[in-house]
């Protein structure tokens, strides 16, 4: 198949990251005859918006459930590349495990099966830093890489399902296609992704508004992590796309996973929220409202209560031990392997990334204040 006739399918196309990837492909990557969008619910106007900047590339939409095998086959038919970003993100335990597993694991399995049966040559899976950890002991990692040994025992259902889907994706590398070719897969593990449209930042901003424009501190200052800007994560997917389409680099990238970070300075989760919200007048607590050991014990009691009430009532604690451990563990990783193998180099520096994020938050702040005021 000549490059001019290539077809790319992106799942999770209406999502925070998925749409950024599609727009970047349309702007920067040559040779795609068609880009197909797959999402459970198509955002109104998305296809029309993308078509306006698509030049000669066709943009089409497949709307449905990632667990719909027949729809997946139709979406993959004739495609040469699949970028799989669709997933349920749940860090607080509010989603039933069967739903989480069905979308994140079973959906990935069905998509890989469709790729193999429909002769899709390349598959990129968007994983998560939470596949790496941190573990329940809170063992730190500073500037780790893909070879860093780490005793990981995941407890979050979300983390487990992402890990299982990642393993499915890597095991599928080299699978024989019906046309005699071989499937090449790779996995990208972004750090915490921020930027315009990040719902977690909206959540923290909302809590800050309720608290008199003071952000709650849940992480210690020294618990450094390295968040990554959404535009750079999209660029990493473009780099992986180009590597898998290149016969030489395909051999190096296929079957591997890559951490995706950028040059955002290491910072704690709480201080990061303050860094992007402080220009809008938000302050932050100097220290957590309770000492960390007491918060940890309180989380344990809430989890016990959740277990006791489960047969009678659905209760989701606002805090759990793994979430508390995650935001209080130094956990940073390098992007050098992705740079070496795929040619990934972050395009957006910290100051520009922060300004873009803060400008977006400023644009939605009046609406958030009004929403909170009326509820």
Active site residues: 158
Residues 186 and 254: beta-carbon distance below 8 Å: yes
DSSP labels, 73-90: HHHHTT-SEEEE------
SS3 19: helix
Would you tell me how many other CB atoms lie within 10 Å of the CB of residue 288? Answer: 17
Our CA angle for 135, 225, 324, nearest 5°, is 50
134 contact partners, CB below 8 Å, separation of at least 6: 140, 141, 325, 326, 329, 331
Q: What residues pair up with 37 in beta bridges, in sequence order? A: 10, 61
Does residue 333 contact residue 141 with C-beta atoms inside 8 Å? yes
Measured CA to CA, the distance from residue 287 to residue 271 in angstroms comes to 11
Closest CA to 121 of 273, 7, 44, 239: 7
What separation, in Å, do the N-terminal and C-terminal C-alpha atoms of the chain show? 56
The residues near 218 (Cβ < 8 Å, ≥ 6 apart) are: 269, 270, 288, 319, 324, 327, 328
Structure tokens, 204: 């923290």
As a whole number of angstroms, the distance between CA 323 and CA 296 comes to 10
Q: Which residues pair with 225 in a beta bridge?
A: 267, 331
Q: Which two tokens stand for residue 354?
A: 């922060």
């Amino acid at each position: 198949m000549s490059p001019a006739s290539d077809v790319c399918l992106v799942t999770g196309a209406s999502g925070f990251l998925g749409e950024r990837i599609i727009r970047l492909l349309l702007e920067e990557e040559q040779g795609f005859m068609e880009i197909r969008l797959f999402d459970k619910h198509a955002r109104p106007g998305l296809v029309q918006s993308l078509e306006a900047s698509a030049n000669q590339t066709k943009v089409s939409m497949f709307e449905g459930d990632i667990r719909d095998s027949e729809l997946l086959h139709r979406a993959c038919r004739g495609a040469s590349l699949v970028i799989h970003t669709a997933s349920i993100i749940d860090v607080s335990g509010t989603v039933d495990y069967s739903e989480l597993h069905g979308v994140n694991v079973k959906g990935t399995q069905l998509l890989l099966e469709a790729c193999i049966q429909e002769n899709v040559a390349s598959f990129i899976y968007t994983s998560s830093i939470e596949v790496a950890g941190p573990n329940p002991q809170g063992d730190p990692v500073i500037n780790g890489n893909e070879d860093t040994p780490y005793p990981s025992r995941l407890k979050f259902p979300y983390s487990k399902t992402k890990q299982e889907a990642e393993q499915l994706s890597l095991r599928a590398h080299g699978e024989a296609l019906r046309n005699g070719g071989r499937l090449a897969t790779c996995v990208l593990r972004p750090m915490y992704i921020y930027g315009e449209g990040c719902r977690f930042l909206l959540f923290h901003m909302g809590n800050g508004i309720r608290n008199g424009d003071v952000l709650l501190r849940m992480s210690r200052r020294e618990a450094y992590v390295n968040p990554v800007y959404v535009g750079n994560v999209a660029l990493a997917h473009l780099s992986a796309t180009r590597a898998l389409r290149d016969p030489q680099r395909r051999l190096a990238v296929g079957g591997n996973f890559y951490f995706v970070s950028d040059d955002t300075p290491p910072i704690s989760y709480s201080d990061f929220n303050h860094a992007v919200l402080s220009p809008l007048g938000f302050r932050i607590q100097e220290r957590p409202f309770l000492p960390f050991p007491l918060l940890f014990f309180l989380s344990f009691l809430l989890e016990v209560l959740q277990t006791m009430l489960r047969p009678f009532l659905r209760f989701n604690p606002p805090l759990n031990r793994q979430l508390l451990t995650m935001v209080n563990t130094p956990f940073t990783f390098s992007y050098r392997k992705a740079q070496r193998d795929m040619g990934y180099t972050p395009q957006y520096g910290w100051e520009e990334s922060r300004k873009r994020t803060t400008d977006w938050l400023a644009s939605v702040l009046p609406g958030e204040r009004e929403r909170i005021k009326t509820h």
